[in-house]
Structure 1
Amino acid sequence: MALRNAVLAALLEGEASGYDLAKGFDASVANFWLATPQQLYKELERMAAEGLIETRVVQQERRPNKRLHSITPAGRAALHAFIAEPAKPTAIRDELMVKIQGMEPEDAPVVRAALVEKSDWAKAKLARYERLRTRLLNGRSEQAYLEESDRIGPYLTLLRGISFEQENIRWSEFALSVIDRRIAARAQ
């Protein structure tokens, strides 16, 4: 999947600056797609050149001018064409899993520290996702939201991100308990 498809999907929510998109990616799309701000800005330039988005400049007095992007009919068509394509299987590429796979007994303390960091990161991300969920629901039940909202995709992907981080936390806690027992047994 190209970054452009994630950007087009994000622009369905409305006009946004590159900064807004980057911030939005961190809050919502990051549960299934990661991009650096540099990658995002380069992609926005390419998408504008290809006519997938329109960009307008908003003059600002005390700040640099703001560039606002919106999806064009060609962009919507490209997104719908992408949606119609068969989805490719997901492949996990996780550096920590390689470290755990190759861990020798003497590596356990270093790997443990990396696991704690991963767990803390997942907990922080889960908290952000839960805050976003509360904002999306806006006092409604989940059922009411899903029945009343025009676009349910952002909520469904958010739920997937929530369950992903919950599983990361659960697995990290299990792995930490195993490593802690091994470290304690080795110390005796």
Structure 2
Amino acid sequence: MALRNAILAALLDGESSGYDLAKEFDASVANFWMATPQQLYRELDRMTAEGLIETRVVQQERRPNKRLHSLTEVGHAALHEFVASESKPTAIRDELMVRVQSMQTVDAPAVRVAVEEKREWAVAKLARYERLRSRLLAGRTEQAYLEEAERVGPYLTLMRGISFEQENIRWSEFALAVIDRRISAQV
């Protein structure tokens, strides 16, 4: 999937600045697509040139002018084409898994630190996703939200992110217990 498709999907909620898109990517889209602000801004420029989005400049007095982006008909059509296209299986590339796969007894303490960092990161992301879920639900039950919301895709992807981080925590705790036993056996 190209970054442009994730941007097109984010713009379904309406006009947005690059800064706000970057914040949204960090808060919600990051559970399935990562992009740096620099990548995002470069892609916004390309998408404007290709007619997928239109950009208008809002004059601001005490700050730099703000560029607001919105979908064009061509952008909507491109997004619909992407949604209807065949999906490819996801390939996982995780540097930590290479470290774990390669771990020898002498490496166990260093790998343990890396796994603990992954667990801490997952705990923090899970908390952020749970706060976002509470905001989306806005006091409604999940069932009520799913029946009433105009778009349920953001909620479904958020739930996938929650499940992913819960599994990262579960696996990290399992791996830490195994590594701790290996380290204790060597002492």
**TM-score normalised by length of structure 1:** 0.99
Please list the CA deviations of residues 50-109 of structure 1 after superposition, one character each: whole Å capped at 9, or x if unmatched.
000010111111111110100111000000000011110011100000000011110000
1:179 and 2:153 correspond: no
Per the TM alignment, residue 153 of structure 1 is displaced from its structure 2 partner at its CA by 0.2
Partner residue, 1:2: 2
1:134-182 per-position Cα deviation (integer Å, ceiling 9, x unaligned): 0000000000000001100000000000000000000000000000000
Q: Does 1:85 align with 2:91?
A: no
- Equivalences for 1:55-74 in 2 at 5 Å? 55-74=55-74
Distance 2:102 2:174 in 1: 18
What's the counterpart of residue 42 of structure 1? 42
Please list every run of 5 or more consecutive structure 1 residues that lacks an aligned counterpart in the other structure. Answer: none
Q: CA deviation at 1:20?
A: 0.4
Which residue identity lines up with residue 147 of structure 1 in the other structure?
E
Identity %: 78
Give the secondary structure class of the aligned counterpart of 1:12: helix
Question: Could you tell me how far apart the structure 2 residues matched to 1:57 and 1:20 are?
Answer: 15
Match of 1:118 in 2: 118
Alpha-carbon distance in 1 for matches of 2:114, 2:19: 30
1:96 corresponds in structure 2 to 96
State how far apart, in whole Å, the 2-side matches of 1:121 and 1:2 are. Answer: 26
* AA aligned opposite 1:141: T
- Secondary structure of the equivalent of 1:68? strand
C-alpha separation between the residues in 2 aligned to 1:75 and 1:35?
20
Secondary structure at the residue paired with 1:76?
Answer: helix
Matched position secondary structure for 1:110: helix
Aligned partner letter, 1:87 = S
AA in 1 matched with 2:165: E
Aligned twin of 1:128? 128
> Could you say which residue in structure 2 is the equivalent of 1:17?
17
Distance 1:93 1:33 in 2: 13
User: What one-letter code is carried by the residue in structure 2 that aligns with 1:85?
Assistant: S
After TM superposition, the score normalised by the length of structure 2 is 0.99
The two structures, once aligned, show a CA RMSD in angstroms of 0.4
Structure 2 residue 142 is the aligned partner of structure 1 residue 142: yes
What is the aligned partner in structure 2 of residue 105 from structure 1? 105
